[in-house]
Amino acid sequence: MKFFVDTAEIAEIADLAATGLLDGVTTNPSLIAKSGRKFLDVIAEICALVPGPVSAEVTATDTETMLKEAAVLRKIAANVAIKLPLTWDGLKACKALSDDGATVNVTLCFSANQALLAAKAGAAYVSPFIGRLDDQGQDGMELIQEIKDIYDNYPDLETEILAASIRHPIHVMQAALIGADVATVPPAVLRQLVKHPLTDKGLEAFLADWKKTGQSIL
């Protein structure tokens, strides 16, 4: 499974990229607004930090303007992925952009039928929103499983499942078990993946015993 981080905070991205665990970055208008910075500047800085795909989302709702915005975003860096909403206009833009060699991430996916349409339109990634479905009393992981089953039925479909709206480490584990290609996670959740109380307890015990020896490696 590949790990993308879902943030527009440069310091967070730089710190996580230093681990070698980061395969890409996803952003959206809400995250850009939270950063308080200019959209194009933020995307350019992220692209310089991370060699993998950096999703930059259009804000237009009609195909023609989506394509114009995408043209601006694609000029920022070669690793920009154009993020489009899963609407009829978004699918038309996805087809045009993917035919032109662009990497497209189709977002706001809430059904398996939507994911099938995104794949048919040539999306490199489709982003099902797990947490938001959970919030509505549905099982977000059931959607990941449905998309995985459908895509497996049709090997010619090359779209990767990008599990999004991940709220906690259990979401990551469940998505990995199902076979999602990518998980995009908030920085705090990515850091939580390394945590386990028995790891901390074991390290504490080892260090206490080492201290008793009076030795130093350096």
Q: Write out the two tokens for 144.
A: 């990941």
* CA neighbor of 1 nearest in space, from 26, 27, 25, 21: 21
Neighbouring residues of 166: CB distance < 8 A, sequence distance ≥ 6: 6, 130, 131, 172, 175, 183, 184, 185, 186, 189
Catalytic residue among 38, 83, 148, 212: 83
Q: Write out the two tokens for 108.
A: 């706001």
Contact 58, 66 (CB under 8 A): yes
83 belongs to the catalytic site: yes
- Coil/strand/helix, residue 173: helix
Sequential DSSP letters for 40-53: HHHHHHHHHH-SS-
Q: Residue 182 half-sphere exposure, CB side, CA atoms within 13 Å?
A: 26
Neighbouring residues of 112: CB distance < 8 A, sequence distance ≥ 6: 143, 146, 147, 150
* Cα 94 to chain centroid, rounded: 18
Type and span of the H or E element at 167: none
Active site residues: 83
